[in-house]
């Protein structure tokens, strides 16, 4: 019974995600769903990328959290439009929540929309939100076994960002293992290493997003 219910929920979610996607396409907004564990550094990554994207694309952010507005306040402090979704304890964002959030953003003044999902490596993977690109942030302090432990999350990633590389020397994290495991799951996924706090690798990641958005525009005629 439970399985049937879960399938129906996902089907309803997918329909709303398609509508979100159409709305974003019409407005020329490239949406990036950011996933990862609590503390992986998703919000810090957005803050770091914003500096490199400034003047190139206009950014907006949807922040998903259980209760607080701490993360959206961090984003607003950068002068970027941010909408907070509080899931009221729910462990993932769904397309319906994103649909409401999109309505309170001025899409005409945004080129690139980051959707900072609830910190969670499990069920967030199953809910498409209407995004064009999925980034999974994995920090080296979480360990290098996460790709094999949470395959749905990593299989559906367009990019895996390995964060906190400034701390790697204090851990037994193997970047080679993550690259190998990811290649077996999804050979198309790009694995890119950064230190969001120190800034290493952020310029290259910002370039990847700008190029990705341009390729999407060129292919869709948006």
Rounded to a whole number of angstroms, the minimum distance from the CB of residue 182 to Zn ion is: 23
Rounded to a whole number of angstroms, the minimum distance from the CB of residue 92 to Zn ion is: 3
| Residue 66 in contact with Zn ion, rule: CB under 5 A | no
In the numeric block, which tokens belong to residue 188?
A: 């198309």
Task: Enumerate the H helices of the chain as residue ranges.
Answer: 2-27, 42-53, 70-76, 95-103, 146-149, 151-155, 175-185, 202-220
Cβ proximity to Zn ion: between 10 and 203 the closer is 10
d(CA 184, CA 67): 37
| Residue 6 in contact with Zn ion, rule: CB under 5 A | no
Rounded to a whole number of angstroms, the minimum distance from the CB of residue 42 to Zn ion is: 16
Cβ proximity to Zn ion: between 120 and 159 the closer is 120
Cβ proximity to Zn ion: between 18 and 91 the closer is 91
Residues that contact Zn ion, how many (by CB under 5 A): 3
| Residue 203 in contact with Zn ion, rule: CB under 5 A | no
Burial class of 102 by CB neighbour count within 10 A (0 to 12, 13 to 18, 19+): buried
Q: What are phi and psi of 174, to 5 degrees?
A: -110, 110
Give CA separation, 19 vs 25, 55, 119, 191, in Å: 10, 29, 25, 30
Rounded to a whole number of angstroms, the minimum distance from the CB of residue 130 to Zn ion is: 17
Helices 202-220/42-53 angle, 10° precision: 70
| Residue 91 in contact with Zn ion, rule: CB under 5 A | yes
| 100-129 binders of Zn ion (CB under 5 A) | 123
Scanning the structure block, which residue is given the tokens 């609830």?
118
| Residue 92 in contact with Zn ion, rule: CB under 5 A | yes
Cβ proximity to Zn ion: between 121 and 202 the closer is 121
Tell how strand 112-116 and strand 82-86 pair up.
Answer: unpaired
Which part of the chain contacts Zn ion (CB under 5 A), choosing from 77-85, 90-98, 150-158, 207-215?
A: 90-98
Cβ proximity to Zn ion: between 77 and 91 the closer is 91
Rounded to a whole number of angstroms, the minimum distance from the CB of residue 165 to Zn ion is: 29
Which residue ranges make up the site for Zn ion (CB under 5 A)?
A: 91-92, 123
């Amino acid at each position: 019974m439970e399985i049937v219910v879960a399938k129906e929920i996902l089907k309803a979610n997918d329909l709303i995600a398609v509508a979100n996607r159409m709305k974003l396409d019409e407005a020329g907004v490239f949406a990036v769903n950011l996933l990862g564990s609590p503390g992986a550094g998703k919000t810090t990554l957005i803050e770091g990328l914003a500096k490199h994207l400034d003047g190139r694309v206009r950014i907006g952010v949807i922040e998903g959290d259980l209760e607080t507005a701490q993360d959206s306040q961090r984003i607003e402090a950068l002068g970027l439009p941010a909408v907070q979704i509080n899931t009221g304890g729910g462990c993932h964002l769904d397309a319906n929540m994103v649909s409401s959030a999109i309505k309170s953003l001025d899409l005409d003044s945004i080129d690139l929309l980051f959707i900072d999902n609830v910190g969670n490596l499990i069920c967030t993977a199953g809910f498409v939100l209407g995004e064009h690109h999925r980034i999974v942030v994995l920090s080296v302090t979480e360990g290098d076994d996460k790709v094999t432990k949470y395959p749905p999350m990593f299989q559906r990633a367009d990019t895996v960002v390995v964060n906190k590389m400034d701390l790697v020397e204090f851990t037994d994290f193997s970047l080679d293992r993550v690259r190998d495991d990811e290649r077996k799951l999804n050979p198309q996924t790009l694995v890119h290493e950064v230190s969001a706090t120190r800034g290493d690798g952020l310029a290259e990641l910002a370039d990847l997003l700008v190029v990705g958005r341009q390729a999407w525009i060129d292919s869709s005629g948006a």
